[in-house]
Structure 1
Amino acid sequence: MNGNQFGRLFQVTTYGESHGKAMGVTVSGCPAGLELTEAAIQKELDRRKPGQSMITTSRGEPDAVTINSGVQDGYTTGTPIGMVIENKDARSGKYEPYVTAPRPSHGDFTYSAKFGTRNWGGGGRSSARETVNWVAAGAVAKLINEQHGITVKAHVNQIGDVKAGDVTWEDILENTEENDVRCADPDAAEKMREEADRYQKEGDSIGGSIYFEARGVPRGLGAPRFDSVPSRLGQALFSIPATTHVEFGLGKEAREWTGKDRNEDWQFDDDGDPEPVGNKHGGVQGGITTGQPIWGEATWHAPTSIPKKQITVDWETGEEKEIQVVGRHDPVLPPRAVPVVEAMLNLTILDFMLLSGRINADRLDNAPGKYDTEYHPRSPHNE
């Protein structure tokens, strides 16, 4: 199976299945000199892990990360960073009825049709459980981006019919982590929570969306056509399970705007450089960053694992049968997808930064003298 690697210079390779022994990720291309601890990775993993509230799966995974390589004396060495997150609470027995009877709208049959086999416990490789690897890798990218003035943040702006009101960047920074649904509008957050509760009690699920923004991204990142910033960010976000729609700037609303209204005049910024007046484009023009915030929205369909009775067919017996998917599942996806979105944005933006040469691919320019021979604590020159 291919398709398990992401990135050009900052490369992420993942492995693991939902109910396997462990999830794992290797990060290649991280410059030397980054201060990196398991605690920094864990902080991001705790935002994604199950069991955070009553509107997330009750699966009891601590998602504790272990760094096995690429770090010495608390700093990255420039060699591949290997990280492992063990699965502690897998219960595969509940999935045995679906070995030859695919659950509606899952990847059960398509995986089996392509490979002739699959890991059926919890969905195996197709499970969103695998995104734990992405968040671990994204935590590394986040540390580097923030050293260079780049901040990525997202919040849930809709669940079902409930939409968040207008919020500021400061609202997103301050309020997103203060409620279970990760919405920066406190009033809407409470209504979203009630919406999720209602569908959960009915044995059903509901979709939603996430607003994202990246600030501090310099102008000039990306390239025309297939290496444009929207192209690569779109790939990153559509890779997240259950994503159905991604847009930047005005997005689909642009079809209602005239060219004159959508076009943005040019003005000089404080440094005397040209900059667009406004940011309807979402921080990108011609596939290349303008230096303005990159912003947009991504949408998720309702979780497909629901306890309501549904109809499937058993390809082994040739019979149609009624099933009821039991297990531990989220009634809505965006609240736990927020850190995944941020991770994929951080990974993609850092890759562009490395490709552009704005960040030294071998060693961080602002790294301490830890890796100079003169200062290294284990150096023979210091003995």
Structure 2
Amino acid sequence: MAGSTLGTIWKVTTWGESHGKGVGVVVDGCPAGLPLSEADIQAYLNRRKPGQSKFTTKRQESDEVEILSGVFEGKTTGAPISMAVWNKDQRSKDYGNIMDVYRPGHADYTFDTKYGFRDYRGGGRSSGRETTARVAAGAVAAVFLKQLGIHVTAYTKAVGPYEIDPERFNIEERDENRLYMPDLKTAHMAEKYLEEMMEKTDSVGGVVECIIDGVPAGIGDPVFEKYDAALAKAIMSMGAVKGFEIGNGFLASRSTGSINNDRFIKGKDGRIEKATNHAGGILGGMSDGSQVVFRAAFKPTPSIALPQKTVTRQGEETEIEIKGRHDPIIVPRAVVVVEAMAALTTADLLLVNMSSRMDRIQSFYGQNQ
């Protein structure tokens, strides 16, 4: 199965299934000498793991990470970093009734068509549990970026029709509520709305916004390997994401050039800056030195208990009620996954960028005269 590897220099390959022995990842290309421990990675995994509140699946997984290689005496060695998270609370019997039935909104039909079979136990490789491996890899990338003064911060911007108010934005509030919203009032309204949908055995979608601070200007490329294109690919590779926008995004289509253009100014420290950031920190596919800001739209969780019409593998019409333990909303647990994918993309492009200019290569190897 192709398509499980991401990156050019900083490469990550995820492995495992939702109801297999475990999930994991191999990170190749991380420089030697980076201080790294399992605790660094666990801090990120704890934000993604199930069973945190009534708005997440009741599957009880500790999601404890085990570093198998690539770290010695608290620092990376330059060798591939292999990490595993073992599954402990699978209930494959919950999926017995869908063995030969295609679930609406899932990858059952497309997976079966492509490979001639499918792992019906929770979705196999198409399961959201695969993102555990992404978060572990992204945690390593985040540690690397912090060494360079770059920080990635994501949060829930909207749950269904409820969107945070910029006037009440408080990033410290994000970790104080179950929806990871940096606006307490909106979080309370969104929670009430979610409870109503749960009573109806239905699910809800939402939006995650992500900010990357400290990215120097010039990261990315002007044609196929644009920074925003790479971010879009990474974020859209998450199973539940149905939309991606950067900066003003689709709102830019309703604007005019005189308004949407970001005026350049001389900053307080003498460096070139922008007066506004409608572009979201990327111009011509390359970072411009300001905050990188993007959003990801998540569809409602497709696994719902409401009766739904569908067909069997043989094409016979039937009705299905999906059993098992499922999130009524994907967004809260996806916040850290968005951070992870943004960190992995940025780390890779930073390393690629090191070879973009001859003078910098000469300087690195001591040949600049």
Q: Is the TM value for this pair above 0.5? A: yes
Match of 1:347 among 329, 344, 347: 344
1:110-165 Cα deviation digits (max 9, x unpaired): 10111001211101110010000000000000011011110110111111111110
Match of 1:203 among 201, 204, 214: 201
Match of 2:279 among 264, 278, 281: 281
Cα distance in 2 between the residues matched to 1:195 and 1:56: 15
1:291 aligned residue: 289
Cα distance in 2 between the residues matched to 1:325 and 1:212: 32
Q: Is the 8 A contact 1:283 1:290 kept in 2?
A: yes
1:369 aligned residue: none
TM alignment of 1:95-174, pairs within 5 A:
95-166=95-166, 171-172=170-171, 174=172
TM alignment of 1:38-117, pairs within 5 A:
38-117=38-117
- SS where residue 33 of structure 1 aligns? coil
2:214 aligned residue: 216
1:379 aligned residue: none
1:267-303 Cα deviation digits (max 9, x unpaired): 1223433322211100011111010000021110100
1:156-201 Cα deviation digits (max 9, x unpaired): 11111111100588x22x1111110000001111111111111112
* Letter matched to residue 229 of structure 1: Y
Cα distance in 1 between the residues matched to 2:164 and 2:215: 26
* Letter matched to residue 338 of structure 1: V
Segment drifting more, 268-277 vs 140-149: 268-277
1:216-242 Cα deviation digits (max 9, x unpaired): 010010001211111000001101111
2:184 aligned residue: 186
Cα distance in 1 between the residues matched to 2:174 and 2:290: 22
Q: Is the 8 A contact 1:167 1:184 kept in 2?
A: no
Q: Is the 8 A contact 1:206 1:301 kept in 2?
A: yes
Instruction: Please report how far the alpha carbon of residue 319 of structure 1 lies from its aligned counterpart in structure 2 after TM superposition.
Output: 2.7
1:374 aligned residue: none
Instruction: Please report how far the alpha carbon of residue 74 of structure 1 lies from its aligned counterpart in structure 2 after TM superposition.
Output: 1.2
- Cα RMSD, aligned residues only: 1.3
1:305 aligned residue: 303
Cα distance in 2 between the residues matched to 1:68 and 1:265: 49
* Letter matched to residue 356 of structure 1: N
Q: Is the 8 A contact 1:66 1:83 kept in 2?
A: yes
1:65-112 Cα deviation digits (max 9, x unpaired): 100000111111000000000011111112122222111111011101
Cα distance in 2 between the residues matched to 1:334 and 1:111: 24
* Letter matched to residue 336 of structure 2: P
Match of 1:228 among 222, 226, 229: 226
Cα distance in 1 between the residues matched to 2:327 and 2:167: 26
1:34 aligned residue: 34
Q: Is the 8 A contact 1:210 1:298 kept in 2?
A: yes
Segment drifting more, 160-169 vs 290-299: 160-169
- SS where residue 121 of structure 1 aligns? coil
Instruction: Please report how far the alpha carbon of residue 17 of structure 1 lies from its aligned counterpart in structure 2 after TM superposition.
Output: 0.7
Cα distance in 2 between the residues matched to 1:105 and 1:118: 15
1:361 aligned residue: none
Instruction: Please report how far the alpha carbon of residue 310 of structure 1 lies from its aligned counterpart in structure 2 after TM superposition.
Output: 0.8
* Letter matched to residue 191 of structure 1: M
TM-score between both structures, scaled by the size of structure 1: 0.91
Q: Is the 8 A contact 1:156 1:209 kept in 2?
A: yes
Any gaps of 5 or more consecutive residues in structure 2?
356-369
Instruction: Please report how far the alpha carbon of residue 321 of structure 1 lies from its aligned counterpart in structure 2 after TM superposition.
Output: 1.5
TM-score between both structures, scaled by the size of structure 2: 0.94
- SS where residue 343 of structure 2 aligns? helix
Structure 1 runs (4+) deviating above 4 angstroms are none
Cα distance in 1 between the residues matched to 2:59 and 2:313: 30
Matched, 1:332 2:333: no
Cα distance in 1 between the residues matched to 2:265 and 2:336: 35
Cα distance in 2 between the residues matched to 1:314 and 1:220: 52
1:380 aligned residue: none
Cα distance in 2 between the residues matched to 1:151 and 1:191: 29
* Letter matched to residue 306 of structure 2: K
Cα distance in 2 between the residues matched to 1:109 and 1:265: 49
